[in-house]
Every structure is written in C-alpha cells, then in structure tokens.
Amino acid sequence: MPSSTRFVKAQQPFAGALLLACLVVYWAVDFFYFRAAPTFPDEERILASAIHLAATGEFSVAGARAWEMPGAAAFFSIPIRVFGPEDAIAAIRVMQSFLLVLQAGLIGITAWRIFGDALTGRIAAVVTAFYPFLVFYQGLMLSETLFNTFLVAGVAAVYWWRGRGAKIDLVFVLACACFAAATWTKATLTILPPFIFAAAALSLPNSARRCVVAFLASAVLYAALLGPWWVRNHIVFDTFVPLTTSAGQNLYLGNNPANLRAGIDWSTDVQPDVVSRIEAIPSELDRQREYNKAAVAYIKSEPAAFIQNAAKKFVRLWNIVPNAEQFSGGWYRLITVLSFGPILVLALVSAFSLRRQFRTLLPVYLLFAYFTAVHVITIASLRYRLPLEPFLILLAAKPISGLYSKAARKFVKR
C-alpha cells in the first residue's frame, strides 16, 4: 500500500477539479432548485431551535429541552448570529456544501485504505460527491448532512487508527470525538461506537486483547465526550437523561394498533385518543415514559403484528423506490431507481466477492446491521438510511473499479 503522503500528493489535481465541479453542482441546486426558505416542517423546527439558541443561549425545541440532540441547531446558530435569521439559509447551504465535499473525500480515502487501490478511492469519492440523495439533502436545513459528515469522519479515523496498529493515540481520540459529535447531532448511534472500535481491532494480531482494550477505552472516552450533555440534562430535569426525550414517541409511532402499514404519519398512523392524552401531560419526560409504555404494551400483546410490521419497515428502509406518495412517481422514482438501485446491487456483489475480507469490513457491516435493527424496531424511511449510503458507495466502488480496469485493458490491447 502506498504511503499516505504520496497518496495525498498524487490526488491533489484530482481533488481540486472535484471540488470545483462539486461546488458548481451544489450551488446550482441550492440557489436555483430550492427556494430561499425551508421546504419541510423538520427544517422549520430545527431553524426555530437554532434561532432561539442564537438569541438566548438556551437549547429547546418548542419548549422541550431535550426533544432532540442540539448539534444541528448549534451549527446553524453560527450563521444566524453572523448574518441574521433571514439571510442565514444561504450561508447554511454553503456550509453544508463543503461538508458534502468533505464526506466525498473521506469516503475516497477510506476506500483506498481498505482496498489499497487509488482508482477505487477515486470512484468512491466521485460517486459520493454527485450522489443525488446526498446532493439533495445538503440543500436542506436538516441534521442529516452534519451527522453524516461526523459519522463518515469517525469511520475514516477508525480505519486510519487500525492501520497505525490500533494504539490508544491521538487518532483514536479523533475517532471517538467524531462519533461523539455525530451523537451530539443525532441520537441514532447511542452505544454503537465502542463496538465499531472492537470490530476494527478484530483482524489484528492479539485480537482478543486489542478488542477488549479498544472497547473499554473508547467506551470511557465516548462517555466522557457526551458527559456535558448529561450534566446539562441533569441540571434541567434533575435526573439522568442520556440522549433525547423523543425516543418513546418514535417507538410508539412505529408500534401501535393504528399503524397497520408501518408508516410514519402522525395524522393517520397513531391512536388519536392516546396521543391526545399523552400530549396533555406537562412533563416531556413523563410523556416519553407514557409513549414507551404504550408501545411496549402493544409489542407484548401483539408479537406477530410487531414482526409483520418490522418486515414492512425493513422494506421501507431499503426500498429502491420512494415510499412517500408525493415522491413515488415521475422523476423522483426514476432518479431513485437509477441511483440507489445500481449502488445497492453492486454493494451486495462486492460484499459477496470480498467475503474473505469480512473482518476488515466488519465496522461497515456493523453500521448496516445496527441502523437496520434500530429502524425496523422504531420507524423506517428512506431518509433514515441516508447515513448508510456513503458506505454502500464505498463497497460498490470496488466492482466498478474492477470493471473499469478490465475494460481499459481490453481497449489498450486493441
């Protein structure tokens, strides 16, 4: 495998051209496709939280103090403070465009580290950079782009750390910090990062000892990095709140007698009387407990329905066509089929052909398994698989590289 320094120097002209092309495409989408206002209700919620945070220094979501993690609001509050709420949207989109460029570069470097092939790294970077879903989401004021960037950076740092011998060093701290930053942005990762470190150490010499050391050290450091959020929540609620107060809502939405289609619509997929009763409870912690109780009671009383809905959620999460009716036809359907479809097929082909490298790729596979499990238990949507798609591209880049090299050799022979 070439040295990191030589690899980076060799990619500089390519990286410069890729950066310029990316920004032209992203800014065309940001300033010509999107209007200068939020598109979805979730954007409005996060922007409102960011404006409140910038104005008061306190984080809340419509009065709830820990309904979601504060990372996206904190990130968006920076341009809001600099430019004001009305002019901050353009700045947020520009900031996120550079985050997507960073994601593409990190996926390319990670592919090179895993496969030892500069061409595979380039292909992974280019496909990530222009992947329609990622380009679309970088123009939205949501938490996805920031979360994905930290997640991709964390995995990239883990493979860098692994290549350096899996020592407890600054690269190890960097990887933990990236995962913690991802969790500060979205609570999805919860306890996963220590398992990723352990999985990364599994294929190294003395793997058992390395796995245990990596797991324990990363668990301690990861917890320490989340500590300020725990302290803040204890001050606010006078009890331990590890992440958010909305997990119970998501569990209930995905598991209640009214949700027969595994949907995510609060207007049709819940029991109105139950929701009205719970929402009337003043405390957000008590509301979460009630939602949890209702969901768990339903799962216990209807295990067959829970399993059937879990299967439907699996299909929703990995569907090749959009689930939402407003995006299920026309260009949306065509773009989804022609982008995600081939990437998924090629990633599966790659996973099979690289089965002897299973341990090397285990951290990536662990992400797939974990995110899938979380969303088939709670709620599922194409949006929730977005963090996994850069890693699908990473896998898909290997057979694309092989096909390109084979075609190039045939062309040269002619």
Q: Give pLDDT tens digits for 321-376.
A: 887 766 666 777 888 888 999 999 999 999 999 999 999 999 999 999 999 999 99
**CA–CA separation, 93 vs 27, rounded Å?**
8
Token code pair at residue 387:
């963090």
Are 66 and 284 in contact by the 8 Å Cβ rule? The answer is yes
**CA–CA separation, 57 vs 1, rounded Å?**
48
Task: Check residue 1 and give its pLDDT.
Answer: 43
Task: Check residue 10 and give its pLDDT.
Answer: 60
Task: Report DSSP state, residue 130.
Answer: T
**CA–CA separation, 71 vs 209, rounded Å?**
34
Sign of torsion over alpha carbons 59, 62, 67, 69:
negative
Token code pair at residue 256:
């209640």
Total domains in the fold of the chain: 1
Percentage of the chain modeled with pLDDT above 90: 83
Are 290 and 278 in contact by the 8 Å Cβ rule? The answer is yes
Are 172 and 161 in contact by the 8 Å Cβ rule? The answer is yes
* DSSP per residue, 135-185: HHHTTSSSSHHHHHHHHHHHHHHHHHHHHTTS-SSHHHHHHHHHHHHHHHH
Q: Is the pLDDT of residue 408 over 90?
A: no
Q: What backbone phi and psi angles, to 5 degrees, belong to 169?
A: -135, -165
Amino acid at 230: W
Task: Check residue 109 and give its pLDDT.
Answer: 95
Task: Report the Cα–Cα distance between both ends of the chain, in Å, rounded.
Answer: 30
Q: Which domain holds residue 31?
A: 4-413
Token code pair at residue 161:
């750390």
Q: Is the pLDDT of residue 234 over 80?
A: yes
Overall residue count recorded for the chain in this entry: 414
Task: Check residue 274 and give its pLDDT.
Answer: 96
Task: Check residue 2 and give its pLDDT.
Answer: 46
Q: Is the pLDDT of residue 35 over 90?
A: no
